Chain A
Amino acid sequence: AQKITQTQPGMFVQEKEAVTLDCTYDTSDQSYGLFWYKQPSSGEMIFLIYQGSYDEQNATEGRYSLNFQKARKSANLVISASQLGDSAMYFCAMRERTGANSKLTFGKGITLSVRP
């Protein structure tokens, strides 16, 4: 079963506007973590933001915020004031613990294009 679902095939946003990238997840664990990574065309994976399952407040990191809705199992990334440099692939990921171990499971990603 797919653990992380990112269904938006590609997103376009005007420079300086806000954009929401969707992510839904599936887990039976009570303790888990949700991550967003950015992958520009150069290929590196850049960590953006983290939300723990027990965190009561939505995570924020500068222009990035995570809209965490636990009951709906969604963890959408909101980018405010989009910049041309935000054009990239964005991956949602979930960390689950299996005993003493854990791994990150990634979604298939969403392409974001910022228009000038």
Chain B
Amino acid sequence: DSGVTQTPKHLITATGQRVTLRCSPRSGDLSVYWYQQSLDQGLQFLIQYYNGEERAKGNILERFSAQQFPDLHSELNLSSLELGDSALYFCASSPGKHTEAFFGQGTRLTVV
């Protein structure tokens, strides 16, 4: 158990809908990262937050947004969902900005 908690574990939703994925980092970890894993794209970095502030942005679509709250948990919001958004979404946390990251178990999103 990495100590990173993601909810829900599975999510099935229809095209055009909006969903929110939640991540609770390991106790004391200030950095939260979001990744998308799909069969064709592999593991893609989406976004990083450090102590509530956005620190780095990767291949995150405009339809997606994220935030990190004062209690350090983070949410990834996906809107106007398309079939191609079906993927495994991972959250990872680390103590600092530049240290190793521990991953949650992921949320498997299926868009139908």
Give the B-binding residues of A (Cβ under 8 A).
33, 35, 37, 42-47, 50, 91, 95, 97-98, 100-109
Contacts and interface: CB of A to CB of B under 8 A. Distances in A.
A104 B106 contact: no
Interface of B: 2, 33, 35, 42-43, 45, 48, 55-56, 58, 88, 90, 92, 97-98, 100-106, 108
Contact of B97 (A91, A100, A105, A107): A100
Nearest to A6: B42
B103 A101 contact: no
Contact of A35 (B58, B100, B104, B108): B100
Nearest to B97: A102
What are the 9 tightest A-B residue pairs by CB atom distance, in nearest-first order? A45-B103, A106-B43, A101-B56, A44-B105, A101-B55, A102-B98, A103-B45, A103-B56, A108-B42
Contacts, number: 60
Nearest to B58: A103
7 contacts: A43-B106, A45-B103, A97-B98, A101-B55, A101-B97, A104-B101, A105-B45
B45 A45 contact: no
A50 B100 contact: yes
Contacts of B100: 33, 35, 47, 50
Contacts of B35: 106
Nearest to A50: B100
B99 to A, nearest CB: 8
A109 B98 contact: no
Contact of B92 (A43, A45, A98): A45
A43 B58 contact: no
A47 B2 contact: yes
A109 B42 contact: yes
Contacts of B90: 45
A42, A44, A98 interface centre (most CB from chain B within 10 Å): A44
Contacts of A102: 48, 55-56, 97-98
A75 B104 CA distance: 25
Contacts of A37: 103
Contact of B2 (A44, A95, A109): A44
